[in-house]
Structure 1
Amino acid sequence: MQDDATPTAAASDFEGARAAAEPDPGGPPALRLPFDMRAIGVEPLRTERMLLRPLAPSDADDVYEYQRLPEVLRYIPWVERDRTEGREHTEQRASSSRLADDGDAVFFAMVLAGEPSVADAARDRVIGDLMLRLGSAEHAQVEVGWVVHPDFQRRGLAAEGAAAVIAFAFERLGAHRVFAHLDARNAASAALCERLGMRHEGTIVEEEYADGEWSDTGIYGVLLREWPAARAQGA
């Protein structure tokens, strides 16, 4: 099966970003900004089983299959949406394609080879998505996040995809630290952070109030100098 996201920009437009020197683990912050997701449209990230490319408006039907599930909504800051609202939400996230200022985010569709899309059996399915958000340009801090359809969990796909985007944050963006914030009740995501070699840095107690209760936030992180060993440990 073929994915329908065809690159439209020339790869040469992004040669400078790809050719940038490797970051110095002990040096000062030096994020390579701005970053444009068109670079990933030209040259998607590839893992053993998946293609990671920019999230697109045409992914809305696949995204809605996990976006609508209560067990998914419980642990991520999404409100319940109907199909039309879900499509608008996917279009909004797909339009976020540049990292330049603190708070900017980009999204990678997790496209599983050989799994037919719910919208078009000739396309491979988007089974989840991964986020990179600029936490601090000044201090080279990048946040990672993920959401995966429950039917495709417990197969190592989240770890496979998250490891690829963390490597991207360090090696292509020049991050000093990659971190994750998650609902402390989300044991599966906490275990994934540990599998990725991220340390539990702390817990913010009763940080958010939702659905009639307070929830704690777990903070996990890994540094550039720690990443080679962490990656080897999780392989």
Structure 2
Amino acid sequence: MLTPTYPIRTERLILRPYTPDDLDALHAIQRLPEVTRYLYWEPRTRTESEKSLHTKMAQTRLLEEGQTLTLAAELATTGQLVGDGMLHWYSSRHRGAELGYVLHPDHHGHGYATEIGHALLALGFDGLDLHRIIGRLDARNHASTRVLEKLGMRREAHLVDNEFVKGEWASELVYAILRREWHPRH
């Protein structure tokens, strides 16, 4: 089980549970086609973002497999919401989870996704005693590929045209890192 102590501070970010006050900033992210291009969902209406926010607000700890921890990421200097990160615990027996992140395009290229990823890996390996954490992404998402590689994750699979998403076949990359690979580096 994992119940983090909040807020979680990285070099430049504060990671914390979502609150109702985050609706405008979350919708500003979720409404953008460039944000959802490689995701399973389309740009969201304000009502859809509000529903998403309520789901995210409930995802503050991991008590059993199948649950997801979602953390809002804000700039430590200004409090501006830049995106979020998630850790989905998919197996207690195999001690595995998947990480992910979504950022507003104005904040791409600053290393924030890597900071979020480092914090999620630490939560998974140190807080939940996981053995393996994966990252899955659309093979065309080169920026996210670079983030996972910066985190020390290795590409393990390239699944060609394995999913039909938004009216087209999409290929998927799978990255992973093991606890024993993470700890010597951190």
Q: TM-score, normalised by structure 2?
A: 0.93
Alignment-derived partner of residue 195 in structure 1: 150
Alignment-derived partner of residue 58 in structure 1: 21
1:149 CA drift (Å):
0.6
Structure 1 alignment gaps of length 5 or more: 1-32, 116-123
* d(CA) in 1 for partners of 2:115, 2:83: 12
Residues 103 and 133 of structure 1 are in contact (CA less than 8 Å); yes or no, is this contact kept in structure 2?
Answer: yes
- Over 4 Å off, 4+ runs: none
Alignment-derived partner of residue 98 in structure 1: 61
Segment of structure 1 superposing worse, 178-187 or 88-97: 88-97
Residues 163 and 196 of structure 1 are in contact (CA less than 8 Å); yes or no, is this contact kept in structure 2?
Answer: yes
Amino acid at match of 2:126: E
Q: CA, structure 1 residues 230+213, in 2 after alignment: closer, same or farther (shift >3 Å)?
A: farther
1:137 CA drift (Å):
0.7
Residues 133 and 143 of structure 1 are in contact (CA less than 8 Å); yes or no, is this contact kept in structure 2?
Answer: yes
Alignment-derived partner of residue 212 in structure 1: 167
* d(CA) in 1 for partners of 2:68, 2:175: 18
Count of aligned residue pairs for this structure pair: 186
Q: CA, structure 1 residues 86+215, in 2 after alignment: closer, same or farther (shift >3 Å)?
A: same
1:221 CA drift (Å):
0.4
Amino acid at match of 2:177: V
* d(CA) in 1 for partners of 2:65, 2:161: 25
Q: Which of 40, 43, 54 pairs up with 1:80?
A: 43
Correspondence list, 1:1-235, <5 A: 33=1, 35-36=2-3, 39-40=4-5, 43-115=6-78, 124-231=79-186
SS in 1 for 2:128: coil
Q: CA, structure 1 residues 164+97, in 2 after alignment: closer, same or farther (shift >3 Å)?
A: closer
Residues 132 and 176 of structure 2 are in contact (CA less than 8 Å); yes or no, is this contact kept in structure 1?
Answer: yes
**Percent of residue pairs bearing the same amino acid type:** 40
Residues 88 and 99 of structure 2 are in contact (CA less than 8 Å); yes or no, is this contact kept in structure 1?
Answer: yes
1:62-97 per-residue CA deviation (whole Å, 9 max, x = no partner) reads 111111111110111223221122112111221123
1:126-168 per-residue CA deviation (whole Å, 9 max, x = no partner) reads 1100000012111100110000111011011111121111112
* Superposed CA RMSD: 1.5
1:105 CA drift (Å):
0.3
SS in 1 for 2:125: helix
Structure 2 alignment gaps of length 5 or more: none
Amino acid at match of 1:159: T
1:6-49 per-residue CA deviation (whole Å, 9 max, x = no partner) reads xxxxxxxxxxxxxxxxxxxxxxxxxxx2x33xx43xx3211111
Amino acid at match of 1:146: Y
Amino acid at match of 1:218: L
* d(CA) in 2 for partners of 1:174, 1:127: 28
Amino acid at match of 2:22: D
Q: TM-score, normalised by structure 1?
A: 0.75
